[in-house]
């Protein structure tokens, strides 16, 4: 989105033509939008700032003058979410519309900021997206838990009995997740969630492809999170670029994750142009996430160490190219994880969790 604003003593800031798509709740409900725009004062670029822009007077009413609401339909998923676009043409705003945490425009049109330059203001503006990246992480955790639970329950109909999880309770225990959203966390988590959903769908065979059984629908709806709040590949490159410029730590590597990051950083800094490949950038993101998970486990262990060792070893083989070692997948460990990942019963609607599902599904019409 390219949106300029101007501010002079004689008039309020005014936005030129600009457009942004894939805005949540924009089509009918939103009455106010937070717009990230370039601020130009008396012809001088002052960097990106946030503006509070009224969109319509009330829900379901037409947009205000200068604002055109556009549709993004048809979408591949999240059909219940009214996503659309907005075009701003000559929209005039009072100077109070500028979010004034770091910058302000006084009554005489003079601009001032506590941040030194436009680049610093841009970085501060982008930091706002950190909170936005929490939502896909949380949604992904719930989706992966639900898919794993459905798959485990369905497997019980085909052989071993299902785990006795907390079916009648809303209390839950969760696998430790690092509360560190950002360029490293979002791509790693969203890619992993899609892998989990795909594996669960395949393990349920054709029943996993039935929309009533939730897994394929979860995957369709979650697909957008690879792009939402920043494309995964772009953010992985950002992480790699920062790592190539400066080492994350000066001491010798202590863990597998640190060794992978240290080796990649040395490799990139040893190249004349400091370049890296896509696969190398993705591997670094995986290593960063593994390091965060291991650190959180060390400070607040929620799974026994033997299970954690197995999970880390499996992750390292598939994501970091580590040497495979046999895993001891005893029934007790699987039961423990199944109960740990059991979702609250209110979100389980798939009929395949019921013991009599296969008989009911194959019953003659």
pLDDT in tens, the chain (365 residues): 333 444 333 334 444 556 777 777 788 889 999 888 889 888 888 888 999 999 999 999 999 999 998 887 777 777 777 788 888 888 889 989 998 888 999 888 889 999 888 888 887 887 777 667 777 778 888 899 999 999 988 888 776 544 433 333 333 333 334 334 455 666 778 888 899 999 999 998 888 898 889 999 999 888 887 877 777 888 888 888 888 887 766 778 888 888 999 899 889 988 888 899 999 999 998 898 888 888 889 999 988 998 888 888 888 888 887 777 777 778 888 888 888 888 988 999 999 888 888 777 777 76
Q: Which CATH class, in words, describes the domain spanning 4-127?
A: mainly beta
Find the radius of gyration of the CA atoms of the chain.
25
Please count the other Cβ atoms lying within 10 Å of the Cβ belonging to residue 192. Answer: 17
pLDDT at 365: 63
- Report the Cα 226 to chain-centroid distance in Å: 7
**Helices 256-270 & 278-299 angle (0-180, nearest 10):** 150
pLDDT (0 to 100) of residue 200: 92
User: Tokens 């709740």 identify what position?
Assistant: 25
Q: Read off the tokens for 304.
A: 């026994």
Alpha carbon separation from 10 to 7, 98, 108 (Å, rounded): 8, 17, 8
**38: β partners:** 4, 48
Secondary structure element (H or E) that encloses residue 347, with its range: none
pTM of the model: 0.73
pLDDT attached to residue 281: 92
Q: Give me the residue spans of the domains in the chain.
A: 4-127, 132-358
233: nearest Cα among 280, 165, 172, 168: 280
Question: For position 179, what pLDDT does the model report?
Answer: 39
Give me the sign of the Cα torsion angle 299, 300, 306, 312.
negative
pLDDT of the residue at 364: 74
∠ CA 113-118-124, rounded to 5°: 75
Q: At what angle do helices 305-320 and 278-299 cross, to 10 degrees?
A: 170
Strand partners, 113: 103
């Amino acid at each position: 989105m390219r949106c300029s604003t101007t501010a002079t003593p004689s008039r309020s800031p005014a936005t030129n033509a600009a457009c942004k798509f894939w805005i949540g709740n924009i089509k009918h409900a939103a009455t106010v939008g937070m717009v990230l725009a370039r601020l130009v004062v008396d012809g001088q670029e002052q960097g990106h700032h946030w503006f509070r822009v009224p969109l319509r007077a009330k829900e379901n009413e037409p947009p205000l003058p200068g604002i055109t609401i556009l549709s993004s339909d048809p979408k591949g998923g999240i059909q219940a979410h009214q996503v659309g676009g907005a075009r701003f043409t000559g929209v005039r705003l009072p100077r109070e519309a500028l979010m004034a945490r770091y910058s302000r425009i006084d009554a005489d049109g003079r601009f001032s900021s506590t941040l030194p330059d436009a680049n610093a203001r841009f970085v501060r503006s982008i930091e706002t997206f950190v909170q936005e990246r929490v939502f896909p992480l949380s949604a992904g955790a719930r989706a992966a838990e639900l898919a794993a639970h459905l798959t485990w329950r369905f497997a019980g109909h085909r052989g071993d009995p299902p785990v006795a999880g907390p079916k009648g309770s809303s209390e839950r225990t969760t696998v430790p997740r690092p509360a560190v959203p950002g360029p490293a966390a979002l791509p790693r988590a969203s890619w992993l969630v899609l892998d989990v959903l795909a594996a669960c769908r395949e393990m349920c065979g054709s029943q996993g492809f039935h929309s009533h059984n939730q897994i394929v629908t979860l995957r369709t709806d979650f697909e957008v999170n690879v792009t939402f709040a920043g494309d995964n590949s772009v953010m992985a490159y950002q992480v790699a670029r920062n790592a190539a410029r400066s080492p994350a730590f000066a001491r010798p590597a202590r863990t597998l994750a640190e060794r992978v990051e240290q080796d990649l950083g040395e490799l990139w800094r040893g190249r004349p142009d400091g370049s890296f490949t896509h696969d190398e950038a993705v591997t670094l993101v995986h290593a960063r996430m593994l390091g965060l998970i291991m650190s959180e486990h060390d400070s607040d262990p929620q799974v026994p160490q033997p299970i954690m060792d197995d999970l880390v070893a499996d992750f390292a083989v598939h994501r970091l190219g580590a040497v495979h070692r046999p895993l001891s997948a005893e029934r007790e460990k699987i039961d423990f994880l199944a109960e740990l990942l059991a979702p609250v019963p209110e979100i389980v609607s798939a009929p395949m969790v019921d013991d009599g599902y296969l008989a009911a599904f194959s019953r003659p019409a």
